[in-house]
């Protein structure tokens, strides 16, 4: 895949969080972000953290593609 990929979910999203983590591991260079306190609708549960994570990923995505093939590190976003 040529484009950067971001997997983002809330920490309370149950099985979806685990599934995204597996998908991130299968896609080298992708990034996985967990939003603390958020559920399935993380953009509604934690809108400021969601927006910050998306903006940070967008601004750094080219750097993520240059990391080793083992993929980018998973990230936990802190409240702004």
**DSSP codes joined into one string, 11-65:** TT-THHHHHHHHHHHHSTT-EEEEETT--SSHHHHSHHHHHHHHHHHHHHHHHHH
What pLDDT, on the 0 to 100 scale, is given for residue 62?
A: 55
Q: Over the chain, what is the mean pLDDT?
A: 82
Q: Supply 24's token pair.
A: 């991130």
What pLDDT, on the 0 to 100 scale, is given for residue 17?
A: 87
For the stretch 28-67, pLDDT in tens is 889 999 999 999 999 999 999 999 999 999 888 755 444 4
**Domain spans of the chain?**
30-36+43-75
What pLDDT, on the 0 to 100 scale, is given for residue 68?
A: 42
Structure confidence at residue 23 as a pLDDT band (50, 70, 90): very high
């Amino acid at each position: 895949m040529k484009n950067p990929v971001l997997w983002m979910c809330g920490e309370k999203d149950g099985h979806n969080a685990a599934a995204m983590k597996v998908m991130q591991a299968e896609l080298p260079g992708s990034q996985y972000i967990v939003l603390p306190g958020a559920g399935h609708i993380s953009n509604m549960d934690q809108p400021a953290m969601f927006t910050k994570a998306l903006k940070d990923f967008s601004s750094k995505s080219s750097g993520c593609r240059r990391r080793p093939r083992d993929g980018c590190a998973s990230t936990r976003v802190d409240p702004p």
